[in-house]
C-alpha cells in the first residue's frame, strides 16, 4: 500500500518515502521467504514445499545472517572512525 501511494502521487516521492518503500519491500520479502516456510514447518512436521524450496529456505537464511554480520561490521568501523576523528580533533585543542 505504501508503494502504491508513492507511485501514484508525485508529491510523495521524497527520499524519506523512498526509504519507507524500501522497508516495505524488505518486509514483504521477509514475510514470503522467512515467515511462510517457518509456518509450514510448525504446522506440518514433514517438509511439503519441495526440494527447491528447502534449498532456497536455507540459502536465504545463510545470506540474511551473513548480511547482518557485514552490516554490523561496517557500523562498528564507522563508529570507530568517528570516535578516532573526534579524539584527534579534540586533542589538537589541548596542545
As given in the structure block, the three cell numbers for residue 21 are: 518503500
- Residue range 27-76, pLDDT digits in tens: 888 788 777 777 877 787 776 666 666 666 677 777 777 778 888 888 88
Helix (H, G, I), strand (E, B) or coil at 1: coil
What mean pLDDT comes out for the span 8-32?
84
47 neighbors 54 (Cβ within 8 angstroms): yes
pLDDT surpasses 80 at 88 = no
pLDDT, position 91: 62
17 CA to centre of own chain? 16
**What is this structure's pTM?**
0.48
Amino acid at each position: 500500500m505504501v508503494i502504491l501511494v508513492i507511485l501514484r502521487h508525485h508529491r510523495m516521492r521524497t527520499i524519506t518515502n523512498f526509504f519507507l518503500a524500501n522497508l516495505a519491500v524488505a518486509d514483504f520479502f521477509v514475510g514470503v521467504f522467512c515467515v511462510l516456510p517457518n509456518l509450514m514447518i510448525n504446522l506440518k512436521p514433514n517438509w511439503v514445499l519441495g526440494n527447491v524450496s528447502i534449498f532456497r529456505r536455507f540459502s536465504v537464511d545463510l545470506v540474511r545472517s551473513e548480511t547482518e554480520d557485514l552490516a554490523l561490521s561496517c557500523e562498528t568501523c564507522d563508529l570507530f572512525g568517528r570516535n578516532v576523528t573526534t579524539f584527534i580533533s579534540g586533542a589538537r585543542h589541548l596542545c
